Amino acid sequence: MTRASNTQGGAVTLSKEGLPAWLDPVVHAVETVKPLQLSRFLPPEDGAGRQSAVLILFGEGERGPELLLMERASSLRSHAGQPSFPGGALDPEDGDPHGDGPLRAALREAEEETGLDPAGVQLFGVLPKLYIPVSGFVVTPVLGWWREPSPVGVVDPAETARVFTVPVADLTDAENRAMTVHPSGHRGPAFLVESALVWGFTAGVIDRLLHFAGWEHPWDREKQVPLDWRS
């Protein structure tokens, strides 16, 4: 079974069969990367934190490989206006958080937030669980290949401002890369793409994926962008 066609209780499996060759470096990175190579924020050893999942969906657009992202509504209490991967907390019906629950949750949330048809998605890998201290979420990044693209867009304007794809070529372009400095003092990578500033957890995962897939180009880590760059 190569497709996840049922996000409610049906079998959701991982498969590397038939993936495009350009995804090989990503598959290798997923299979070999260690948790601390992705982030210094790892899940609490006592099991605390709310289990969640995000879908890192690779498609092929007019300009080659691309990633699906969304921008959260500015009215939300947390991460308002911030670009992110589709995703969210696991629901009880998603199943075992330590089994295929995160796979099902990633597809379900992507469908709810972007209108994505899960039947066209082939899940091929899972990164180590990471932690977002500010929200207490334990996040499982689930990777997929958009084998059969479907129309996507804003499903609920109260949650999502827009849904968009970003060419990997733009993410690797040194001109679009910078560092952000959070008021807390934390520095992290950022991407200026599709009139959006991608930063925080999402940018950190993209940055590490590009690095370990060998797609990263040299860029200026001294270039800083304020988090209120639009004002």
- What is the rounded end-to-end Cα distance, in angstroms, of the chain? 48
The architecture that CATH gives domain 21-166 is Alpha-Beta Complex (3.90)
Q: Residue ranges per domain, the chain?
A: 21-166
Considering only CA atoms, which of 94, 97, 114 is closest in space to residue 6?
94
Q: Which residues contact 49 (CB under 8 A, 6 or more apart)?
A: 43, 131, 136, 137, 138
Q: Are 74 and 80 a contacting pair, CB within 8 Å?
A: yes
pLDDT reported for residue 231: 42
10-residue block means of pLDDT along the chain (231 residues)? 46 94 98 96 92 98 96 67 93 94 97 96 97 93 97 92 96 97 87 94 97 97 83 42
pTM: 0.92
Enumerate the β-bridge partners of residue 60: 65
How far apart CA 46 and CA 221 sit, in angstroms, is 35
Four-residue CA torsion sign, 158, 164, 168, 169: negative
